[in-house]
Structure 1
Amino acid sequence: MAEKKTGKRLFQYALLYKRTILIALAMLTVAVAAELTGPFIAKKMIDDHMMGIETPWVEVENQGEKTVLYNGQYFKRESYVADGDVIADGKLQLVQVGRSFYETRESLSFDGERTVTGDILTVRQGANEATYLVERLNQEQLFAFYQPEIKPIISLLAFYVGLLVIAAFFQYGKSLLLQKAANRIIQKMRTDVFEHIQRVPISYFDNRPAGKIVARVTNDTEAIRELYVKVLATFFTSTIYMTGIFIALFFLDKKLALMTMIVVPIIILWMILYRKYASKYNHLIRTRNSDINGMINESIQGMPIIRAFRRKEHTSKEFETLNEEHFTYQNKLLSLNALTSHNLVFVLRNVAFVVLIWYFAGQSMTAAGIVSIGMLYAFVDYLNRLFQPVTDIVNQLAQLEQARVASERVFELLDEKGEEVNVEPLPRYEGNVRFNQVSFSYDGENDVLKNISFDARKGETVALVGHTGSGKSSIINLLFRYYDIERGQITIDGIDASTLPRQQLRKHMGIVLQDPFLFTGTIESNVSLDNPEISKRQIKAALQAVGANRFIEKLPNQYDEKVVEKGSTLSAGERQLISFARALAYDPAVLILDEATANIDTETEAMIQHALNIVKEGRTTFIIAHRLSTIRNADQILVLDRGEIVERGNHDELLAQKGKYFQMYQLQQGKKIAEVV
C-alpha cells in the first residue's frame, strides 16, 4: 500500500512537467524507430542485392539499365524486368558454392546442400537429389553481375546513415529534456521539503539530529533525482526499444517473435523477486547514511569539546562502526547484484539463441527464401539489440530500489503534520499575557509545568527564575506556541492564543537567546533577516539602541561586514548585541530574554541594561535569568521549582519572604564575596 502511494506521488511530481517529458518520449520514439530500421535495411541489402544475384536472370534484346553483358548476351534479373524490355529465350541462374559462383541455364527446383564436381552441380535435400550442368564464373564476370546492385546498396547505406544522424539528434534532445525535467522535479521536491520543515512543529526536531534531516533534503532527494534521470529514463527507453524490436520481429516471423516474448514475464518476475530481497539492504544503507550524516554534523559542531576532552579516538571509533556497517550492507547489496544481474541476462541471451538455432535447425535455405540469409541476420541482430535494454533494466534495479527507499523517507517527512503559513495580517496586540492553570508535558506522561497561573500586563517586566529543569524555558516555548497545551489556557489581550495563527502570533514577539545564532551574510542582514519591511534606518537605530554601533563602526565594512556561519569571527558579546538589535528591529509587543546576558561581560551587560530600560517601554518583557542581579527592577518575579510557581513578587518582596529566592540570592552573593576575597 505504502509502495503504491510512493509510486503515485512520484508520478504526480512527474506530471508537473508532463509536457517536457512527453516531448522527450516522442523524440525517443522517433530515435528508436530510426535506429531499429538497421536490421531491415541489412536484410534488404543481403537478400535483395547481395544474395539477390542468385535469383533467375532472363535474356533481353537490348542493353539498358541494370543489364549485364555475359558471353555476348544481355541478361537482366527477372525481378528487374520492366514492361518495355524485349525478352529473348535465354535464361540462367547463379549459384554460390563455397567461395565460388557458377552459372547454370536451368532453374533450381529446390535448394539444399550444394557440391560441385567438375562442371556438375549436385543439390541434396534429404532424400531428394538433383544435378545441373554449370560453368564457373571468373572474378570479372561475377563483378559484372554485382554491378547493378552497387548503386542500390550505396543508396540503402546512405539512407541508414541519415537515419542514424536523425536518431542521434533525437536521442540528444530526449536526454536533454528528460534531465531538465528531472532536475526541475527535484528542485520542486527539495523546495517542498525545505518549506515543510519550516511548518512542522518544533517537537519534530527534538529527537532527530540535524544531520539526519539534512540527509533527507540532500542525499535522499539526490537519489530520487537519479530515479528520474537514469532509472525512469532507462525504463522508458528500454520499454520503447523492446516494443519496437518485438514489432520488427513480428514482421519477420510471428512464431519466433512469440517465443522471444517469454523474456518479458521473466523480467517482471525478476524485478519482483529482486526488490523483495534488496529492499531490506537499501533501508539499512539509507538509515546508516543518515546516521553518518548526523554524527558528522554533531562532531563538527562539538569539535572544540572533542579536542578539549581528548575524545578524538573514541569519536573516530564510533564513526568507524557506522561506516563499517554501511560498508557491510553495501557489499551485501553489491553481491546480490553481481550474482544475479549479469547472470540473468547471460542466461536469457543464451536461451534465446538456443531457441533460434532449434527453430532454424533442419530447415533448408532456398533462393526463394524459406529462411533467407538476410532473415537470419535480421533475427540475430534484433536478438542482440533486445538484450541491451534488458541489461539496462536489470542494471538499474538497484538504483530503482534505492530511489524507492529514499522516496519513502522524503514523503515520510512531507507527511509530518505541519501548519500552513497564514498571510492574513494580525493587528499588533497590546501584549497582556495570561497563563491560567496551565499544565504541560512533552511526552504526555510527566508534567514539566503544573497549574501555572500569572498575569503579565503591557509594559511590565516579568522575570522567571529557578534551578535548571524548573520549567522556565517551557513557559516561553508555550508562549511562542512551539508546543500546544492540552490543559489550561494562555491568552493574549484576552484572546485564546491557540486560536491565533502561529506565524502571526510570533510576528509581534521577539526573542534573544543565551547562545545567539547568526546566519551567513552581513551584520545588516542578520538584524533584518532580509525582511523587506525593515529599513536600513530601522536596522541602524536598533543597533545604536543596544550600543552595537561602538564596535561596528570600527569594522572595515561597518554594517555590511561579512558574517560567517554562527558569527564565529565576532565575540560572544558582539553576537549578543546583534541578536538584541534583531529583536528590537522587529518592534515586538512581547520581548523574551532567555538568559540573554549570561555570556556577556560586565561592561557590555551594563550597556544592554541601559538600552533595555529604554526599549522595553510599552512592551511586555519576559526575562529568564540565573544571575539575579540582572532582574532587580523586574515588576514581577516568578520563582519556579519542579514545574510549579512557589514564590512571586518583586525583588524586595521576595527577599523579605526569605524563601527560595532569598536562598538563591544569598548563594550568588556568597560566591561573589568568595571570589573577591
Structure 2
Amino acid sequence: MQKAALAIIFISVIINTASMVYGTMLVGTAIDKYIMVFDFDGLARFCFMLAAVYSVSALTSWLQTRFSVILSNKAIQQIRHDLFDKLGGLSIRYFDSKPHGELMSRLTNDVDNIWQALNQSIVQLISSGLSIIMTLIAMFIISPLLTLIALLIVPSGIVITKIVAKHSKKHFAAQQKILGELNATIEETISGQKVVKIFGRERIIIKNFAEKNENLRSVGIKAQFLSSIIWPAMNSLNNIGFALVAFIGGGLILSGNTTLTIGKISNMLIYSKQLSRPINEMANLFSSLQSAIAGAERVFEVMEEKPEPLDGKPITQIKGKVEFKNVTFGYNAEAQVLKNVTITAEPGSTIALVGPTGAGKTTIVNLLTRFYDVDEGSILIDGNDIRTLDRNTLRKNLGMVLQDTYLFSSSIRENIRYGRPDATDEEVEQAAIHANVHKFIAHFPNGYDTILSDGGEGISQGQRQLISIARAILASPSILILDEATSNIDTRTEKNIQQALLKLMEGRTSFVIAHRLSTIRDANEILVINDGQIIEKGNHDAIYNKKGFYYNLYNGHRVRD
C-alpha cells in the first residue's frame, strides 16, 4: 500500500509539473499563432486544448495531495508507535532522569513538527525541485541567453539560504528544548496542584512559568525572524530576474532578433515567474523544515537510548527464596544508598524493612524488581542471579502495592484486573472482597464498571490503596512487596485489611515496609536499616529487648500513634 501510494505521488508530481510547463508553452504558441493574426476561431479551439491540459494538472495535484496525506499520516503513526514502544522498553532510571512533561513534548510537539514536514514540506520540495528542472529545460529550448540571465539570481539565493540556515538552526533546536521544559512545568504543576495551593506557591509557579514562556517567545522570535528573511529576499531577487528577462528580451526583439517572438518572450516571463515560485515555496518551507529537523533530533535521541536488556532466561515458577549478597548500590556514582547489604528470606517468610526516611528501604525493593541493577554484589531468587533472568517473567512473579498508588483512567474492574487480564469477573470481585473494598465499590451506581479519572482522583487515598491491594491479590504473585502499603489508610480500615493481607502473604515470601511499626510485629525477621546499612535484625521481641535503634524507633512511633 505504501509503495503504491509513493508511486502515485511521484507519477502525479511528474505529470502535474509537466502539464504546467507544457501549458505555459502553449500560451506562447497561442499568442504567436492566433492572437497576433487575430484568428479567434483557432484561439477558441486552442483554449479547449489548454483547459484539458490544466484539468490534467488539477487532477494530478489532487492525487498528489491526497496520497501524500495518507502516506504522511501512516508514517507519523509508525513513528509515534515506535517512539512509544521505545519508551516502554526503557529503564526506570531513564524516566527518573527526565521530566515527564519533557518526554510528553517529544511524543506530541516534536512528532507533530515531523508530521508537518512529511505532510507538506517533503512532497512540496520534490515538486519544487522537479518544477525547476523542467522549467529550466523549457527556458533553454526557447533562449539559452535569457535563461542564463534569469539564473543570475540563483547564487545570491543560495548564499542567503546558507547564512540563514547556519544561524537559525540553533534557535529552532533551542525552541524545541524550551518548549519541552515548559510542558514539563505545566505537567508538574497540574499533577501537584494540591501541594501548590496548600503552600500558597501560585505566584511563584506563575512567575516561573512566565520566565520560561518569555524564553520560548524570545527564542521563537529569533528562529522565526531569521527564517522569515529568506522569503522577501528571494522574492526581491526573483523580481530583479523577471525585470532583466523582460528588459533584455524586449531589447533583443527591438534590435531585430528573428529567433525571438512576442509569444516566446511571454513564455520566458511566465517561466521566470514559475522558476521563482518553487524557489519561494522552498524558502517558505525553511522554518517548518528547521522545526522538523530539531524535533527529529529530539525523537531520535530517545530512539537511540539503550533499552532494558531482554536476554535473560525465563523463569516460570518461583519457590520464593530471596538472597541479597553483599549488595552495594547508588543512584549515582557520588553517593551510595546501600552499603554491603546481606539479606536472606526463606520461602514463605515475611521480612519487614524499617528505618528512617532515606535509609534505603525502597531502594531494596527497586533492586529486587530490577528497576535498577546492583553496583556490587548479587541478588538471588531460588539460587538464580536475577541479572540472568528475564525481567518480564521475573516481574510477573512479583506483586507490589506501592506507597504512591496509581490507578488508570479506566473502570475499577479493569484496574483490579491490570496485573492479570484473563481474570474472570468473579475472580475480580473475590479479590476485592479479600481487600475489603467490595462494599465501597458496590456503593457506586455502576459498581465495578465505574470509570476512574486519571490517577484515581475523586476517591480517597485509602480507597485507592485498597483497590491496589485487590490488584495484587488477584495477580497471586510468588513474592509480595508491600511498600508503605498501609501508610495512607486510617486505623479502622487498616485493621480490616490486616487479616486479608496476612492471608495473602501465607505461603509467599513477603517484603513489608510500613510507617506503623505495630503492623509488622509478626514478621519472621525485621531488618533495621540506617544510612544504607543493616544495623539490627531479628524478630520483634529479640531486637526490641536490645533497647537499641529499633527500640527507640518503635517507641517513638507508638507515641505518635
The TM-score with structure 2 as length reference comes to 0.96
Amino acid at match of 2:486: T
Shift in alpha-carbon separation, 1:48–1:392, aligned structure 2, 3 A: same
Distance across 2 between alignment mates of 1:245 and 1:415 = 42
Q: Spell out the pairing of 1:107-506 with structure 2 (5 A cutoff).
A: 146=38, 149-358=39-248, 360-364=250-254, 369-419=258-308, 426-506=315-395
Match of 2:13 among 28, 36, 45: 28
In the other structure, the counterpart of 1:552 is 441
Structure 1 equivalent of residue 23 of structure 2: 38
Following superposition, the deviation at residue 220 of structure 1 comes to: 0.4
CA shift, 1:265, in A, is 4.7
Structure 2 gaps, min length 5: none
Amino acid of the structure 2 residue aligned with 1:193: L
Do 1:437 and 1:452's aligned partners in 2 also have CA atoms closer than 8 Å? Answer: yes
Residues paired across the two proteins, number: 561
> Quick one: distance in 2 between partners of 1:420 and 1:252?
65
One-letter identity of the residue aligned with 1:184? K
Distance 1:530 1:521, change over 3 A: farther
Distance 2:419 2:491 in 1: 31
Structure 2 letter corresponding to 1:426: I
Shift of 1:424: 8.1
Distance 2:225 2:438 in 1: 63
| 1:17–1:556 distance in 2 versus 1, CA, 3 Å | same
Rounded to whole Å, the distance in 1 between the matches of 2:182 and 2:107 is 15
Change (3 A) 1:421 1:369: farther
Is contact 1:466-1:626 (8 Å) kept? no
Match of 1:613 in 2: 502
User: In the superposition, relative to structure 1, how do residues 532 and 365 fare at CA in structure 2: closer, same or farther (>3 Å)?
Assistant: farther
CA distance in 1, matches of 2:191, 2:236: 51
Residue 602 of structure 1 is matched in structure 2 by: 491
Q: Distance in 2 between matches of 1:362 and 1:25?
A: 39
Q: Is the 8 A contact 1:17 1:185 kept in 2?
A: no
Q: CA deviation at 1:185?
A: 1.1
1:284 CA displacement: 1.6
Task: Output the amino acid matched with 1:220.
Answer: D
Query: Which whole-Å deviations, capped at 9, do the CAs of 1:118-160 have from their partners, x for residues lacking one?
Result: xxxxxxxxxxxxxxxxxxxxxxxxxxxx4xx333211211111
Write the distance in 1 (CA, Å) between the matches of 2:377 and 2:152. 69
Quick one: which of 468, 471, 482 aligns to 1:582? 471
> Structure 1 residues 220 and 268 mapped into 2: Cα distance closer, same or farther (>3 Å)?
same
In 2, the alpha carbon distance for the partners of 1:265 and 1:578 equals 69
Change (3 A) 1:377 1:335: same
Query: Is this contact kept in 2: 1:528–1:582, CA < 8 A?
Result: yes
In structure 2, distance between residues paired with 1:425 and 1:484: 18
Matches within 5 A, 1:3-152: 17-51=2-36, 53=37, 146=38, 149-152=39-42
* 1:267 positional shift: 4.3
Query: In the alignment, is the contact (CA less than 8 A) between 1:438 and 1:489 conserved in 2?
Result: yes
Q: Establish whether residue 662 from structure 1 lines up as the match of residue 551 from structure 2.
A: yes
The 8 Å contact of residues 24 and 271 in structure 2, kept in 1 or not, is answered as yes
1:473, CA displacement in angstroms? 0.6
Closer/same/farther in 2, CA of residues 308 and 532 from structure 1, 3 Å limit: closer
Return the offset for 1:261.
3.9
Check 1:275–1:294 CA distance in 2 against 1; reply closer, same or farther (3 A cut).
same
Write the distance in 2 (CA, Å) between the matches of 1:312 and 1:187: 38
Give the secondary-structure state (helix, strand or coil) at the position aligned to 1:633. Answer: coil
Q: Structure 1 residue 420: deviation in Å?
A: 5.9
Per the TM alignment, residue 572 of structure 1 is displaced from its structure 2 partner at its CA by: 1.5
Letter of the 2:23 counterpart: G
1:303 alignment partner AA = Q
Q: CA deviation at 1:229?
A: 1.1
Aligned to 1:625: 514
Structure 2 CA distance, aligned partners of 1:273 and 1:19? Answer: 39
Q: Which runs of 5+ in 1 are unaligned?
A: 1-15, 54-145, 673-677
Q: Secondary structure at 1:658's aligned position in 2? A: coil
CA deviation after TM superposition for structure 1 residue 251, in Å = 2.0
Which structure would you say has the larger Rg? 1
C-alpha deviation, 1:423, in angstroms: 11
Greater share of residues in strand: 1
Equivalent pair of 1:199/1:421 in contact (CA under 8 Å): no
Q: CA deviation at 1:166?
A: 1.7
Q: 1:133 corresponds to which residue?
A: none
Q: Counterpart of 1:325 in structure 2: which amino acid?
A: N
441 and 400 in structure 1: CA distance in 2 versus 1, 3 angstrom threshold: same
User: CA separation of 1:542/1:424 partners in 2, compared to 1, >3 Å: closer, same or farther?
Assistant: farther
Whole-angstrom distance in 1 between the partners of 2:267 and 2:424: 75
Aligned partner letter, 1:292? L
Greater RCO between the two (CA within 8 Å, min separation 6)?
2
For each residue in 1:330-389, what CA deviation from the matched residue of structure 2 results, as whole angstroms up to 9, or x when unmatched?
2222332343421232123313432552354254376x9432110011111111111111
Q: Distance in 1 between the 2:215 and 2:144 partners?
A: 52
Q: Confirm or deny: 8 A CA contact 1:365 1:371 kept in the other structure.
A: no
SS in 1 for 2:56: helix
In structure 2, how many angstroms separate the alpha carbons of the residues matched to 1:21 and 1:264? 30
Deviations 1:581-619 (A, max 9, x none): 111211111110000100001121112111011111121
